[in-house]
Structure 1
Amino acid sequence: MTRRTKKRPAPISYRPPERLREEFHLRVMNSGQSINAFITEAVFGQAIPRARPISSLERKLAAMLLSQAARINDRLEQACGASDEGNYDLLLQECRDELAEIRSYLMLALGREL
């Protein structure tokens, strides 16, 4: 068996001070980048040319929002054809409730407070 004669250079590691560690990890998480990409962009001012990965939370939120939007559309179609006034009001209130829920999820996804 042949041995390798060339060694890879040692990786450059970064350990933020203890008091900044939590903020560092929050910034990396909010950037949507890997730690390596985040540090490279911060140090050299240029992003690594790769697509930003979509987190499973973002996928779930997007799927939920699409589902709720489809339900609202269906209910509004029902409301347009509803002849009973009470049924119409109930359908409109359900649509308003779902829109409020969609707003809450979007605010959560954007990291904002209600």
Structure 2
Amino acid sequence: MTEKIREAPISYRPPHELREQFRARVEESGLSVNAFITAAVFGEGSPKPARRTSASRADVARLLAETALLNERLKGLAGDADPSLLEDAVRDLREIRAACLRALGRSP
């Protein structure tokens, strides 16, 4: 029975006085520690930062539900409102809805 032997990992231990700065730079970059070090060493061919969202999925889902409620309310105002203003508001809601769906990883 032959087992494949993995290469030993290359590790980096920053000097104690630079650890906080190193961690802050990694966090600010949006990259994993491995990707950050690779970018620092090899430059241009480095991976792009991971996509991070600042809003929680629950918040985005709630906003998505609220856009549907607003859309219904706007449709109720159809007879009383200026048609061009109503059209603009509905278009804006569609854009917000599409952005929410993208933030949730779904297609609009």
Q: What TM-score comes out, normalization by structure 2 length?
A: 0.46
* TM-score (norm. length: structure 1): 0.44
